[in-house]
């Protein structure tokens, strides 16, 4: 009778693994977006005189 529970356990572990992979993927995307944002901010603040309007 214990064999009936094996597919459910495998299915649950598979779903947990897929969820962990998805979360890891989202983590890498978040890190990449953060790095890109910091680079854009640094490049924009390096030459602030170009973007300021002359009075």
Tens digit of each residue's pLDDT (9 = 90 or more) over 42-51? 888 776 555 5
CA separation for the pair 23, 55 (Å, rounded): 49
Residue keyed to tokens 């030459």: 47
CA separation for the pair 20, 2 (Å, rounded): 27
Predicted TM-score (pTM) of the model is 0.54
Token pair for 7: 């597919």
Tens digit of each residue's pLDDT (9 = 90 or more) over 9-43? 777 778 778 787 888 888 899 999 999 999 998 88
CA angle 17, 20, 23 (to 5 degrees): 155
């Amino acid at each position: 009778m214990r064999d009936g529970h094996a597919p459910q356990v495998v299915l649950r572990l598979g779903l947990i693994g897929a969820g962990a992979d998805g979360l890891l993927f989202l983590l890498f995307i978040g890190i990449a977006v953060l790095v890109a944002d910091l680079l854009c901010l640094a490049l924009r603040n390096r030459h602030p005189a170009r973007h300021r309007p002359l009075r």
